[in-house]
Amino acid sequence: MKLFLILFTLSLPILAKDFSVQRFNGDVFVNTIKVTNENLNKIDLKIGDTIEARDKKSFIQIKSHRGSTFLIRNGSMTLNKYNKKVTVISLLKGKFFHFLDTKKNKRSFIIKSKTASLGVRGTKYMVEASDDNTYLCVCEGKVAIKSNLSKKLYMTKAGEDIDILNTMADFKVREATDMMIDMTAKEFSDMGIPL
């Protein structure tokens, strides 16, 4: 019985983790801590943490126990808010691939970048952010995106994409190119959640 209590007590921090790192490659950091095979299971992501993949070959894939899996490639993001109703992240730069299991996750998911804000209603999509542009490609479901400059809202659905620039007031949702769909589909397949 004592052994059971000890094992149960030791497992509580693991059970309490909302996010876990599934895989990574290259120079990846959570705040200032470099992610390694040795500390992989000890990393506990919290509100305010910044996650960074520092070069083109670097990525980190994270899974929430509430049905959200995302990957950041060659970029950085900050976890701003995470509760029963909403998850809010800031995508500072780079590519962000996200699968939202809408059967497990009924909360809102919001992404903020320097040029746009996104409200996720879809299940699989990719966002690429830089200082002056936010690109969105939707593979499944729908994503609402709003320009920070004009405050205009655009709805994108599966097979569509859009660029939101900080120098223009009006944008067009268009059919995504085969190249972008194929690149995004490969990334989701590598994540273990193919289209």
Residue written as token pair 């920070």: 148
Q: What is the mean pLDDT of the chain?
A: 87
Q: Quick check: is 3 in a domain?
A: no
- Contact (Cβ atoms closer than 8 angstroms) between residue 158 and residue 138: yes
**pLDDT tens figures, 62-111:** 998 777 899 999 999 999 998 888 889 999 999 999 998 877 667 788 99
Q: Quick check: is 4 in a domain?
A: no
Q: Quick check: is 1 in a domain?
A: no
Cα–Cα dist 183/80, whole Å: 28
Q: Residue 50 belongs to what domain range?
A: 18-190
pTM for the whole thing? Answer: 0.87
Q: Quick check: is 73 in a domain?
A: yes
DSSP letters along the chain, please?
-HHHHHHHHHHHHHHH-SEEEEEEESSEEETTEEP-TTTGGG----TT-EEEE-STT-EEEEEETTSEEEEEEEEEEEEEEESSSEEEEEEEEEEEEEEE-TTT--SEEEEE-SSEEEEE-SSEEEEEE-SSEEEEEEEESEEEEEETTT--EEEEETTEEEEEETT-S----EEPPHHHHHHHHHHHHHTT---
Instruction: Report the CATH number at residue 45.
Output: 2.60.120.1440
**pLDDT tens figures, 37-70:** 999 888 888 899 999 999 889 999 999 877 789 9
Q: Quick check: is 29 in a domain?
A: yes
The total number of structural domains in the chain stands at 1
Pairing of strands 28-30, 124-129: unpaired
Q: Quick check: is 158 in a domain?
A: yes
Q: Quick check: is 195 in a domain?
A: no
Q: Quick check: is 100 in a domain?
A: yes
**pLDDT tens figures, 5-31:** 333 333 333 334 678 889 999 999 999
